[in-house]
Chains A and B, each alone.
Chain A
Amino acid sequence: AQSVAQPEDQVNVAEGNPLTVKCTYSVSGNPYLFWYVQYPNRGLQFLLKYITGDNLVKGSYGFEAEFNKSQTSFHLKKPSALVSDSALYFCAVRDIRGNNRLAFGKGNQVVVIP
């Protein structure tokens, strides 16, 4: 079964500094990987996904993520964090040969300090 680990409960970063949110995954086959963001009392919003091809994926709001197969990682990055980036971030994985279920990590709270 597929699974995701987001090792840090909270990430604190100063406004204007680079932001990184870590994610490692486990699947039996090849993965489809996703990042979502959630603001308080709202649904999840899709940021970006890795399907195949270039390991560096660019998404919404200036976010990008790098797929690293050897390290089974898919870390989310933003070169310069904004206060409005403060939210809960979820990594998710689906096995391309498995069922259509998506496994989510526990989420990382990002706090951008003005």
Chain B
Amino acid sequence: DGGITQSPKYLFRKEGQNVTLSCEQNLNHDAMYWYRQDPGQGLRLIYYSQIVNDFQKGDIAEGYSVSREKKESFPLTVTSAQKNPTAFYLCASTLAVGRAGELFFGEGSRLTVL
């Protein structure tokens, strides 16, 4: 079945450690996105990529990094520079042709810093 797979579902990190969240899609979508969700704040855009080997910062990119080496993969690294990384992270994708396409979301990864 086509879809977006995020892993791991739950992740615990000690302060000072970098962690990488995986996002893989088999929908043949061009554009991929990473959002952060905090209670009562909705979704905030971290990074997005519209084509392989290219990506742009979103509204809250500080302390995060991404890569887009393959069309189907868009991993997110939460670095030790991110001051408050505990959150629910959502990956999404869409066809980039036109802008009318809806986003398809993965099931999310919940990161907790101990």
| Nearest-CB residue, chain B, relative to A9 | B40
State the main secondary structure of chain A at its contact with B. Answer: loop
Interface size class of B (residues with CB under 8 A): 20 to 34
| Nearest-CB residue, chain A, relative to B108 | A43
With most chain B CB atoms within 10 A of its CB, the pick from A43, A98, A100 is: A43
Q: Contact mask A83-114 → B, CB, 8 Å, 1/0?
A: 00000001000101010111011110000000
Chain A residues in 8 Å Cβ range of B42: 90, 104-107
Q: Which one of A14-22, A45-53, A65-73 is at the B interface?
A: A45-53
Q: Contact mask B68-109 → A, CB, 8 Å, 1/0?
A: 000000000000000000001010101010011011111110
- Interface membership of A32, Cβ < 8 A: yes
Contact of B110 among A41, A49, A98 (CB under 8 A): A41
B90 pairs with A44, CB closer than 8 A: yes
Interface size class of A (residues with CB under 8 A): 20 to 34
By a beta-carbon cutoff of 8 Å, the part of chain A in contact with chain B is 9, 32, 34, 36, 41-46, 49, 51, 90, 94, 96, 98, 100-102, 104-107
- A to B CB contacts below 8 Å, 13 in the list: A34-B102, A42-B107, A43-B92, A43-B105, A44-B90, A44-B92, A44-B103, A45-B105, A46-B102, A100-B31, A104-B35, A106-B42, A107-B42
